[in-house]
Amino acid sequence: MSNPHLEKLRAKMDDRNYALLEAIDNERLHAFIADAIDLCEPESVWVSSDSDEDVAYTREMAMKLQEERPLNTEGHTIHFDGMEDQGRDREVTKYLVPKGDTLSKALNQMDRDEGLGEVRGLLQGAMKGRIMVVRFMALGPNNSDFSIPCVECTDSFYVSHALNLLYRLGYEEFKRLGAKADFFATLHSSGKVDERMVSVESDKKRIYIDHTTDKVYSVNTQYAGNTVGLKKLALRLTIRKADREGWLAEHMFLMGVHGAGGRKTYFAGAFPSACGKTSTAMLPGETIVGDDIAYFRAVDGRCMAANAEAGIFGIIQNVTEQDDPLIWDVLHKPGEVIFSNILVNDGNPYWLGMGVETPDEGENFSGEWHKGKKDAQGNEIPLAHKNARYAVALHALANCDPELENPDGVELAGIMYGGRDAHAYVPCQQGFDWDHGIVAYGASLETETTFATIGKEGVPEINLMSIQDFVAIPLGKYVENNIDFGKKLDKKPSVFGVNYFLRDKEGKFVNGIRDKHVWVKWMDMRVHGEASAVRTPTGLIPCFEDLKRLFKEVLDKEYTKEDYVEQFTIRVKENLAKMDRVEKFHRETVANAPESLFQVLSGQRERLLAAQKEFGDYISPEKFPVEDK
């Protein structure tokens, strides 16, 4: 049978690029690319294979077109996004929903026909005079049950270069799968750009997700979170795929934690942006499998997990040599790194909170910058953006885990959920069982909004499992899927809640930046039955003697009883208020939350009230019983 889409492509491409597409036996793929060319009208089309030459070409073109510029350290480049394009943009990121259908009202959505008409109108002719780059990538390890093939058409070689660092090359995977490739597709254009190659029509920025066809449309933006389709945009599609197929797609890191006898134990963790996610995954002495998106599958009663990505698109603010030595090292030695939205002075990069003296002038996301420069609203522009980033391949890190590309994934022993909770939850606690942990720490995750998302900062909000913005199925169904996933496991991972941002009455943090390593080491002991725990109304917390020893072993730091009581006092009133907010959210916003969630919340409320009646509003951890290991 003839393939009309392939015939159309033949008329629009040279022999080299046509041959690369013809070698993939997938008519749906050819239809997507042919439509993209018809719509965007590029001057030419370049198809990337998995060859070293093609990988190098995309980087060279990013430099030639000045979407990136070289820095002093070999392999390091700088890319700038526009003043109005510095983070994921909730307002213009929407699900396209067919008439008669609806998603949770917590999700930004619009009529599919209307949305397609709008975004395709903005993409019409958007690539005139430019090269359309066709990229084949994979989410998850290639040739694996975790693997999802993806294609992206873009007119940005910066986006293409970022794909090289952050994901697995997938051209050969598409050839292998052929017509069986059930892929995600992204179409992106930077739109009109200025002399700095920055998108200038931010008022026409649109990022629309058509979940009915597994396509993403992105236009008038360059910030990688809005343009690299395999990032959070594909996560929205993956969640629907996982829902259909009975596995989980999670906004989580994966790390290996070393313990007694030379063992290595794998943990996952969900944290909203700028809440300590990457710094936890990058703890010195441990290994990293991934820092952002993980897939979970139940295999022979075990929870197996794989990193969807192969690189890090990390927030660079507050990365210091002392607190983040492994990241600091890769950001200062030769090798491929793309910096974005930091300050450049004399070919050197500078960012906020880097712990060294920084220049008073240079070039940043606002253009030529000097200390005291103000924006159009009269606000002082910092030397770098709070959401400035670095992109680097995981294999460039000294602590990259050797199981990163294991097609079977790694077996999970523990899962942690953490947010910015200044008032209620203790720094570290363990769920009584799978259901309690998923509900009390995951579905109840409360945080303050940060600079990683455009909008007002410091506003408390529920961010369900740190994935709420990306869930393209009913939120209640997502919670139910997580609870039900535990029923497929004979060996369930322990579930922990962590909170690095608890404050005292004066507003000071009750624990230090590096203390998180102690909490992680305690979790490792717990999953191996090597530490007792104190049973409180909200979960199982560490015993003082274990923490005292761990602080000395891990951080060479003295840990006092006063520290322990301050950090692990149960704040009953604040926890009850939290329960009220969580329950209201699930009843009013989620609407279809499973009844088992409310049963878990009710049990926690009853335990808190009973403890309050016996001990008062603020209860020392020494008042509660110790359980055996």
CA distances from 537 to 133, 434, 611, 615 (A): 55, 16, 7, 12
What is d(CA 51, CA 71) in angstroms, rounded to the nearest whole number? Answer: 26
Q: Scanning the structure block, which residue is given the tokens 């690029």?
A: 17
Least Cα distance to 189 among 167, 232, 157, 144 occurs for 157
Rounded Cα gap, residues 89 and 558, in angstroms: 44
**560 exposed, middle or buried (CB, 10 Å; 0-12, 13-18, 19+)?**
exposed
The secondary structure of the chain in percent helix, strand, coil, rounded to multiples of 5, reads: 35, 25, 40
- What is the four-CA torsion angle of 65, 68, 72, 73, rounded to 10 degrees? -120
- Residue at token pair 């070409």: 57
191-194 long-range contacts (CB < 8 A, ≥24 apart) are 191/122, 191/126, 191/219, 191/220, 191/221, 192/220
Query: Which amino acid would we find at residue 265?
Result: T
User: Phi-psi bin for 191: left (phi > 0), alpha (psi -120 to 50), beta?
Assistant: left
Name residue 257's beta-bridge partners.
Answer: 265
Is the four-CA dihedral 78, 399, 318, 441 of positive or negative sign?
positive
Tell me which of 40, 150, 153, 275 is the catalytic residue. 275
Q: Which residues of 572-583 are buried (b: 16+ CB within 10 A; e: fewer)?
A: bebbbebbeebb
Please tell me the distance from the alpha carbon of residue 523 to that of residue 332, in angstroms, as a whole number: 32
Per the annotation, the verdict on 303 as an active-site residue is no
Active site residues: 275
